[in-house]
Amino acid sequence: MFEVLVYLYENYWRPDACPEHDQLTRKLSAVGFESDEIEEALSWLDGLAASAESCEWAQSSDSLRVYTAAEIDRLGEGSIGFISFLESAGVLPPAMREVVIDRATAVGESPLALEDLKVIVLMVFWSLGEEPDALILDELFVDSEDRLIH
């Protein structure tokens, strides 16, 4: 599923630039994605749209998020740490954080791999028509092992 999401991010500027589901399914199949992978990704994207639509965007910027035991199990410490990092950097406001958590908990694996969480964060920005700044994009795309320390 995550490969399909990355493909969509790289090939469509915004979600409204994507064709309708039927045509998009055909295009993704033609590129070589499996039908179950495509179906899962499109269903996940529908959930993303619904989550972003229903989110309360007027939350206070100084809110404190307490994770439930189920969220901790599902997300894992690495993902929760990364979400906290993005919040403290001022990149992920509380409303976007909640969308990220909602979409991360919608994924079936536990704990969620950090690389998968990064794709989810990227897709939340994409769904809102926002692009993170260059340093955050670097954080989302480059593995820490591949970084050069100057």
Mean pLDDT of 100-118: 91
Residue 149: predicted pLDDT: 42
SS (H, E, C) the chain: CHHHHHHHHHHCCCHHHCCCHHHHHHHHHHHCCCHHHHHHHHHHHHHHHHHHHHCCCCCCCCCCCCCCHHHHHHHHHHHHHHHHHHHHCCCCCHHHHHHHHHHHHCCCCCCCCHHHHHHHHHHHHHHCCCCCCHHHHHHHHCCHHHCCCC
pLDDT tens digit string along 111-138?
999 999 999 999 999 888 887 776 676 7
pLDDT tens digit string along 35-83?
999 999 999 999 998 888 877 655 556 678 899 999 999 999 999 999 9
Q: pTM for the whole thing?
A: 0.84
